[in-house]
Amino acid sequence: MNNILLAQINPIVGNLDYNYEKISSSLDYATANNADLTIFSELALFGSPVLDLLIKYPRLLAHSSEYIKKIEQLSQNTPFLCGFCECANPDDNTCYNSLGFFADGKLKKVIRKSILPFKDEFFDGRSFVSYPFEPDDRIIEFKDKRFFVLFSNEIFNSDIVNSACNLSPDYVICVASFISRTHRNEVLNSALNQISQSLKARVLFVNQTGATDSFVTYGQSRVINNGKIVAQARAFDEDNLIFNTSGDKNRIEQSPDSTFLMQDLFNLDYDADLERIYGTVKLGIKDYFSKNNFKTAVLGLSGGLDSTVCAVLLADVLGPNNVIGVSMPSSITSKESKDDAGCLAKNLGINFYQVPIGQMTQASSVTFDDAFEKIELNRSQKRVQGSLTFDNIQARSRAMILWGISNEFSSALPIATSDKSELYMGYATINGDMSGSFAPICDITKTKLFALGRWLNKNSQFKDAIPQSVLTKPPGAELAINPDTGKPLTAEEALMPYEFLDEVIWRIEVKKQDLDSMLDDKFIYETKNKLDKDTKKAWLNKFYKRLSTSTFKGSLMPPGVICDYASINKCVSLMPITAKFIL
Amino acid sequence: MNNILLAQINPIVGNLDYNYEKISSSLDYATANNADLTIFSELALFGSPVLDLLIKYPRLLAHSSEYIKKIEQLSQNTPFLCGFCECANPDDNTCYNSLGFFADGKLKKVIRKSILPFKDEFFDGRSFVSYPFEPDDRIIEFKDKRFFVLFSNEIFNSDIVNSACNLSPDYVICVASFISRTHRNEVLNSALNQISQSLKARVLFVNQTGATDSFVTYGQSRVINNGKIVAQARAFDEDNLIFNTSGDKNRIEQSPDSTFLMQDLFNLDYDADLERIYGTVKLGIKDYFSKNNFKTAVLGLSGGLDSTVCAVLLADVLGPNNVIGVSMPSSITSKESKDDAGCLAKNLGINFYQVPIGQMTQASSVTFDDAFEKIELNRSQKRVQGSLTFDNIQARSRAMILWGISNEFSSALPIATSDKSELYMGYATINGDMSGSFAPICDITKTKLFALGRWLNKNSQFKDAIPQSVLTKPPGAELAINPDTGKPLTAEEALMPYEFLDEVIWRIEVKKQDLDSMLDDKFIYETKNKLDKDTKKAWLNKFYKRLSTSTFKGSLMPPGVICDYASINKCVSLMPITAKFIL
């Protein structure tokens, strides 16, 4: 046993033919590079997450069985381990999440997952049935070596891990399809490291790479031995990582830090996390477009932070020629905003058009005025004073233009540019800026987005593309004028300082705090800014009041990339809209 | 033990104060009516489904514990069983789905659910941990009687049911929160009947009523004894059902049919199911509005079937005065359509306004033409010939007006009127007719909707409100002219006959068939219509081609009422958008 190949492929869920070709080509690499054994990730043949695809179309299970036979043939030249969906009972279409050991043209052994997760982004428990755990079942013997197999989240189950102690495996194989989240990788390294040390075995961790809708699996397959990462594959991309068991010629990475404390991990300091966020969102965009056969993105460029960061990321992934930026000024739009949008587009080299919305908002306003007058005449209910109706006409006219471009130029997808802070506060217009087919930054808070903007200026292929003013001016929707200042109302005037707002989100998601404990606790914001108790309370009350209606708005958002520690995205956080609760 | 009260309440998820009052008032009823024991439904104190509310806000668990103490007090006068969320481990915020036996001001015994479902509309497995099943744990002894307790889906588990045989219970209690679906009730009756006969015990089935988002629990709590329903509460409404154990004075219903065959149940004959569909959608609308503090619905009235049926249902639930119907004709809109819309509104007595969209579509068209010319000049990509852009401007201008009314007249919610057949085919406009806050008929196919229309004319409070022409003319979006006929393009011209289309949906959802087996099988459609093999194949291919992109469109739909055997609704059917598969 000299060389083991960790084959990190990017499958398409349900596309067995495509995935078969990926597997076959990795096995060619294995043969060419003298690998004794190749290991693919969890469910590599079918793709992960399966969600309800197999439940809805059980015929895919029969289809999958045909492809298991097909990959059996591939093992004539080189042995390998590959994950697949295995029919457990043809009568009720239940299936196992299984890993097969293929050698000499045959499926020699099947190992089946026991612990099926169904929290957060994990929905395995819906499609798969659990197979009773027996330590001996998990052993594969090959070339005088003993391999003990674990599936993804099973590495966190101490009973299962400890059961391997008596089996003295030489290697622990962990096949996975973990998605990228804040601090996921540190937690993972800690667990893998512990396994390596307590079982005195090398851990071979093979993770899927690639995105399905909101779910971005991130690769970074690795070998851990005695507290050290001794070989590691790329993150956010396919990779064939040959691990040389004698230790030389491996891509060696830093040791995983096994001494960290969980409470230290979950802090608000996200500078170190920006590269991961960048990689996650990029792969999320890339695969949503390429796997769904879309080529071009079309988005409104307001000159604000959200659309700016989206434009940079889209240009980075799709190429500047495949991004259409549209500046759609109204009478409120400031010259600075228009300039910033134009300057950004020029810096990125994307397609850029100015489409003033004056005629549309004018026609809508006239039509609305006529309609509202009739409605008010006939109904007891009165129009809302100082309503947002006419402000929102601007946002909705813009969305209409983007969807029109999408219809007129095939394969162009409109982008929803809302960020996580706005979504928590419902500070976005339904059918306006919330509208689009995909929401790249919906899991990134505003303060983090500012940091990401600065990071992109330094580290992306588009150096300094983002105008400084975008990174310094106060964010706002530019839909209304603040009567106190005579200038467009800023978001912080309408809401509260983003630094405070984002800390509340962090305290809810990471620290699981409620209103009372937040009032008692000293905010990081308070260590840097003066804040009296009444204002703090007023901000928190405003936050919770807005939160209670934001779920309704969130139910109308398109899917978007998940990347934070926890998410508001409805694909992973199944929140009832119809619920009342006091916190 | 003379009287047992089945207390069928409609809780609001997470609103412990509200639910406490409901429980308290049912117990007052129990005391006034000499009930010896009162039984509430599954999770009555917290409300069901919990979805991820407890995971996101674990503080609610502590809040729930306080209310358990509060309801303890209520048992000083009268004993009862009530479901609640019970903290299992404060360290990790796990909890049990529990049922408490409260008597003499104390919580005397707690029984915990073992089988946690997580398929279809069931997400219990995310929030709750399973408690190991022990038959003896499930027994409550009270007034010389033995009660054996089951939770909802556990009634389908034969191991659990049979374990009660040796315990000879007098009563089997089943607490549940089942939602309304096609044939759910027959399947339920069959299971409850079998339990009653095999355990020689009376079955007390208490089901929640009320809707949360897409989930409509339907009540109809009942007592089954020896193959007969001997008492039954109302469906789709709160009810206090006193069951008199000596057998007289009970509301007696028909016997459940225990002889049916499953394959007979799942047919395409839905006439018998229309009353249930009506009740389900009505309660779905009612609770979405009332529990979320909305009063008024606003919808476009095209004179077509979808908006017509929606208008009748909304007028029925909210009252005609709380429905705003808007006819928004364009140059394509026929006189018949306008007349039908006006006639319907008059028959229903709802608010009705005509808002012609000519100015808006005109301004948009001019703006678009300018924009598209610039884009075409600068980009290699050419405009799509015969694109839908200008057709869709009409649908999107209409949605803009509805959202404008929603902004201007507070608490008015725009309604998305898409039906299930259209959603399967992606035959709807994003940000147009697909736009709205709630989709009442998104789980009803077109042919069923025609039948429901006829049924409403006979059975709703608005007799013959639907103009005959709406029920007979071919459906169509009236966005484009068919060059062959010179008339607006009908949906069946664009797609295929709805009778065929809906049968395909039924074969996929109920019979789990694929393309090949459908080609081999004889359609019911074929027994009534001539259909050659090539046309059948062409229609099926068109269906699957459109299906492959409809998931993308479906991801942008608002929540809506689930009522069919299986659903396309993203709240219950977690389909990956990014997936490719051959069927």
Per-residue model confidence as pLDDT tens digits over A531-559: 999 999 999 999 999 998 888 899 999 99
CB proximity under 8 Å: B 18-37 to A: 18
Are B332 and B459 members of one domain?
Answer: yes
A171 domain-assigned: yes
Spatial contact of A266 and A511, defined as CB atoms under 8 Å apart: yes
Structure tokens at B384: 């799509």
Average pLDDT over residues A211-227: 95
| pLDDT attached to residue A580 | 77
d(CA B112, CA B129): 10
Structure tokens at B280: 């389900």
Spatial contact of B350 and A323, defined as CB atoms under 8 Å apart: no
CB atoms within 10 A of CB B328: 27
The residue of chain A with its CA nearest to that of B53 is: A575
Using an 8 Å CB-CB cutoff, list chain A residues near B213. Answer: 555, 576-578
Element (H, E) at A211: strand A209-212
| pLDDT attached to residue B479 | 81
Structure tokens at A469: 């003013």
DSSP A117-170: --STT--HHHHB-PPPP-GGGGEEEETTEEEEEEEGGGGG-HHHHHTTGGG--S
Give the count of Cβ contacts less than 8 A between chain A and B. Answer: 294
Angle at the Cα of B577 from the Cα atoms of B571 and B578, rounded to 5 degrees: 145
Which one-letter amino acid corresponds to residue B415?
A: I
Share of chain A above pLDDT 70, in %: 96
B283 domain-assigned: yes
CB atoms within 10 A of CB A248: 6
The residue of chain B with its CA nearest to that of A578 is: B212
Spatial contact of B470 and B308, defined as CB atoms under 8 Å apart: yes
Question: Which residue, among A322, A296, A291, has the nearest Cα to A407 in the 3D structure?
Answer: A296
Average pLDDT over residues A266-277: 83
The residue of chain A with its CA nearest to that of B439 is: A556
| pLDDT attached to residue A140 | 97
Tell me which residue range forms the domain holding B82: 3-265
Calculate the alpha carbon distances from A189 to A244, A271, B438 in Å: 20, 20, 44
| pLDDT attached to residue A382 | 75
Phi first, then psi: give them for residue B553, nearest 5 degrees.
Answer: -65, -40
* Domain boundary pick from B440, B465, B480: B480
| pLDDT attached to residue B262 | 60
Are A375 and A254 members of one domain?
Answer: no
A511 domain-assigned: yes
Are A358 and A222 members of one domain?
Answer: no
d(CA B466, CA B450): 11
Strand-pair partners of B296: B412
Are A253 and A296 members of one domain?
Answer: no
Strand-pair partners of A5: A38, A242
Question: Which residue bears the tokens 């004075």?
Answer: B249
A568 domain-assigned: no
Provide the CATH number for the domain around residue B449: 3.40.50.620
DSSP A355-388: ---HHHHHHHHHHHHHHHHHHHHH-SPPPPTT-S
pLDDT at A438 over 80: yes
Higher pLDDT, A376 or A16: A16
Structure tokens at A331: 């009478």
| pLDDT attached to residue B266 | 56
Cis bond upstream, residue A49 (ω within 30): yes
| pLDDT attached to residue B150 | 98
d(CA B14, CA B60): 8
DSSP B233: P
How many domains does chain A divide into? 2
A379 domain-assigned: yes
Question: Which residue, among A135, A131, A205, A192, has the nearest Cα to A169 in the 3D structure?
Answer: A135
Are B350 and B453 members of one domain?
Answer: yes
d(CA A313, CA A438): 13
Are A260 and A299 members of one domain?
Answer: no
pLDDT in tens, A467-487: 999 999 888 878 888 888 888
Are B462 and B355 members of one domain?
Answer: yes
Are B177 and B316 members of one domain?
Answer: no
DSSP A422: H
Query: pTM score, two decimals?
Result: 0.95
Are B214 and B346 members of one domain?
Answer: no
- Strands A239-244, A80-89: parallel, antiparallel or unpaired by DSSP? unpaired
DSSP A218-262: EB--EEEETTEEEEEPPBSS-EEEEEETTSTT----PPP-----H
Question: Which residue bears the tokens 């027959």?
Answer: B186
Contact of A424 with chain B, judged by CB distance below 8 Å, is answered with no
Strand-pair partners of A225: A228
pLDDT at A582 over 80: no
pLDDT confidence of A158, banded at 50, 70, 90? very high
Element (H, E) at A393: helix A389-408
Are B336 and B224 members of one domain?
Answer: no
Using an 8 Å CB-CB cutoff, list chain B residues near A381. Answer: 296, 409-410
Q: Strand, helix or coil at B509?
A: helix
Between A125, A384, A437, which is nearest B408 by CB? A384
* Domain boundary pick from B455, B480, B505: B480
Between A292, A360, A574, which is nearest B578 by CB? A292
Share of chain A above pLDDT 90, in %: 77
Spatial contact of A8 and A209, defined as CB atoms under 8 Å apart: yes
Q: Which residues of chain B have pLDDT under 50?
A: none
Q: CB neighbours of B18 closer than 8 A, spacing ≥ 6? A: A580, B11, B12
- B404–A389 C-beta distance less than 8 A: yes
Contact of B455 with chain A, judged by CB distance below 8 Å, is answered with no
- B51–A351 C-beta distance less than 8 A: no
Q: How many CA atoms lie within 13 A of B22 on its CB side?
A: 25
Identify the burial level of B91 via C-beta atoms within 10 angstroms of its C-beta, where 0-12 means exposed, 13-18 middle and 19 or more buried.
exposed
Are A382 and A318 members of one domain?
Answer: yes
CA dihedral over B434, B436, B439, B440, signed as positive or negative: negative
Q: CB neighbours of A528 closer than 8 A, spacing ≥ 6? A: A499
* Domain boundary pick from B211, B243, B265: B265
Using an 8 Å CB-CB cutoff, list chain A residues near B363. Answer: 359-360, 362-364
B524 domain-assigned: no
Give the N- to C-terminal CA distance of chain B in Å, as an integer: 58
Average pLDDT, chain A: 92
Contact of A545 with chain B, judged by CB distance below 8 Å, is answered with no
B104 domain-assigned: yes
- Strands A412-414, A296-300: parallel, antiparallel or unpaired by DSSP? parallel
Spatial contact of B396 and B432, defined as CB atoms under 8 Å apart: yes
CB atoms within 10 A of CB B461: 11
CB proximity under 8 Å: B 145-204 to A: none
Are B249 and B318 members of one domain?
Answer: no
pLDDT in tens, A326-340: 999 998 899 999 999
- Strands A3-8, A239-244: parallel, antiparallel or unpaired by DSSP? antiparallel
d(CA A56, CA A376): 48
pLDDT at A271 over 90: no
B256 domain-assigned: yes
